[in-house]
Structure 1
């Protein structure tokens, strides 16, 4: 009877998911992201939970700063007694939590930050990452950029880890794809504080044939508005990271440029059964359409649930073993967490921007499976510390 009572008590318990993110600093992405997480938690719990245990989501705001993120992690672990640590959006914040996970020997799922360092140079055995990385998304765009056959490229990016990483990868991959390409201008802007007028003027003065843009959120809107006003994009090819996500196209509306090559999420035109099921459930639950953040949040919780199910507990070492090679069914189809660097194979859509009925949309798109856009295992082994295995 004692064993039975103990088993029942455990089954009736919960797994506490401690999630840290920049909700106030990046609401366009993170409000939908939180809804995606909530939907996944509700679905998992309605189906009986994980091993009879329900999931409980506990969120904290990191104010977009590494120090606040680490303090939030300490509080979640000490006071809330969380079982799993997850989250982060901004790359420098994600790196701080990656380091924290290693120091404290705690499992951490980096849901959204894009910097490659999270799984490569500063990767560790405790950290896994869901969203397709900077390298992966740039690698998805480079074939289209090379097909433009433009020699002189200008670059604009937010001057912090994500932007710097994206530019370094773009230069490396473009030089390999199109020998002789030139980078004639670079504008590195403070995150959230772009001086769009001076940036656009500097790019125009360089007379590039094409532009690679890494700005997002409010910075992107300001850049596009000023660029449209001054004719910066007229007759020039533009390749732009993340700009096809509804979080950003929704803001641009009739200012959306035509023909930019972008990564994004055309939720309104994806016709797979997996995505349709997610779309129907999301719209029924929130009376709204999903954004890219919605899918990331949803997939993050599904990943944690699958990992806990495979591990049979929230023990850190068992979770690490469970996540290595873990397969998860998602609205984008099945993804796998790679053994060699803990990066998931979640992909993204690549297409072109357009306007339809006064709204920005993606057209001529296709899904890019993240498994196809990875460096070789030998390259990863050189990048990733031996201690990260």
Structure 2
């Protein structure tokens, strides 16, 4: 007859063995949490997810990292900062992920950066462009892959100055990214061209552009040129309304992001011509790194890559290289390993700067056109992100001590 003490002892042993087995199973992979606004921004984030899945396959096929396969647990954040933090907490405490990456909108990216700081969790911001992520709100656990808002604007300013236009209109989404982009453009342009005038300032709710009212207000101001920061559905509305009303006729347009196939391709034959843009002309870049990436992407998905694909791929590869360098998933060791980390990407080698945790990934700057009924980028050149960074002294003033 089994005594009560014996029964409890057996139960304890059984429970211990079960927990041990569960722990062993959990250690079979390195679990990585990924959070993004897939439902809200599918044009960019569908290809982005394909990109990191391609990198995941390549890493695991080569043996994984630290003797283990990588496993990504992905969640949607509904493009909402509150949901972003809730999902991050669920991934860390419920799913047992050991680090986080992702983010698209600047406000959700900042929420994740703050979560990383408060909970001491490593976070790689793949896409959010806000300068605050690495400067004003920077912290030791948060790194960023894509060129910042400041960097991308700084790439376009030399081209804008060559236009020698005095009267400028501004149109942008009214949240952190758009506000920051316009503030940087105004500051850099005024420093180089003191007589510049900003004659129309059109800030629209993200995803809710009133294209008729905005284009009319810009036309009424009679600008010589337009600086545009819209993207996604808002960009489409602006382009179509501007084409219809002749807003762009005989006016120069300088535009962030418009050359990205994620946003240019949906416009088809309505794509603007002659705009100076940042983007990704994947079809004409003849570097070995880009050709290898394009071939692998097309072989897996039977589709061409967008800029989101490059970002997703490079983010996962950065994590794999960071884990190898750290030799651990410990957030402090991982954060230290990312300082000065070199990573090969489809754009070539990039480095995560020790000064501010920002990568040196660059962007292509060129001019939009239409070919065979599709928008394209022509006359483009690559600008290394390292060449458009503020000085170390400026960064020190902008970023708090870790």
Q: 1:224 and 2:239 equivalent?
A: yes
Name 1:20's counterpart in structure 2: 35
- Alignment correspondent of 1:93: 108
**1:148-205 Cα shifts (integer Å, max 9, x gaps):** 0000000000000000000000001111222211111100000000000000000000
Check the 8 A contact 1:244/1:262 in 2, yes or no. Answer: yes
Structure 2 residue 70 is the aligned partner of structure 1 residue 55: yes
CA deviation vs aligned residue, 1:322-381 (integer Å, no higher than 9, x gap): 000000011100000000000000011000000000000000001111000101111110
2:258 counterpart of 1:234: no
Contact kept? 1:28, 1:247, Cα under 8 Å: yes
Distance 2:248 2:354 in 1: 42
Structure 1: which 5+ residue stretches go unaligned?
A: 1-5
Q: CA deviation at 1:10?
A: 9.9
The separation in 2 between residues aligned to 1:251 and 1:15, in whole angstroms, is 37
Q: 2:161 aligns with which of 135, 143, 146?
A: 146
Instruction: Kindly indicate whether the alpha-carbon contact (under 8 Å) linking 1:134 and 1:162 is maintained by their aligned counterparts in 2.
Output: yes
Match of 1:43 in 2: 58
RMSD (Å), alpha carbons: 1.3
Give the Cα–Cα distance (whole angstroms) in 2 for the partners of residues 69 and 211 of structure 1. Answer: 34
Alpha-carbon distance between aligned partners in 1 of 2:111 and 2:288, rounded to the nearest angstrom: 38
Alignment of 1:233-312 (within 5 A): 233-312=248-327
State whether structure 2 residue 139 is matched by structure 1 residue 124: yes
SS for the counterpart of 1:34 is helix
Q: How does 1:332-351 map to 2 (within 5 A)?
A: 332-351=347-366
Q: Which residue of 1 aligns with 2:17?
A: none
SS in 1 for 2:283: helix
Give the match's secondary structure for 1:235.
coil
How far residue 15 of structure 1 moved from its aligned partner, in angstroms, is 1.0
SS of structure 2 residue aligned to 1:211: strand
Determine if the alignment matches structure 1 residue 66 to structure 2 residue 66.
Answer: no
Q: 1:172 aligns with which of 187, 190, 194?
A: 187
Gaps of 5+ in 2: 1-19
Whole-Å separation in 2 of the counterparts to 1:374 and 1:347: 11
Query: Which structure has the bigger radius of gyration?
Result: 2
Contact 1:153 / 1:209 at 8 angstroms: preserved in 2? yes
Structure 2 CA distance for partners of 1:110 and 1:210, relative to 1, 3 Å: same
For the residue of structure 2 that corresponds to 1:64, the secondary structure is coil
- C-alpha offsets along residues 209-228 of structure 1, whole Å, 9 cap, x if unaligned? 00000000000000000001
What is the Cα deviation at residue 17 of structure 1? Answer: 1.1
Deviation at 1:41, TM superposition (A): 0.3
Contact kept, 8 Å, 1:16 with 1:58, in 2: the verdict is: yes
Contact 1:11/1:52 (CA < 8 Å) preserved in 2? no
The DSSP-based 3-state class of the residue aligned with 1:204 is helix
Q: Which position in structure 2 is the counterpart of 1:3?
A: none
Please identify, of 171-180 and 87-96, the stretch whose mean Cα deviation from structure 2 is larger.
171-180
Report if aligned partners of 1:10, 1:53 keep a CA contact under 8 Å in 2: no
Counterpart check, 1:212 vs 2:200: no
Q: Distance in 2 between matches of 1:267 and 1:275?
A: 7
What's the offset of the Cα at 1:61?
Answer: 0.2
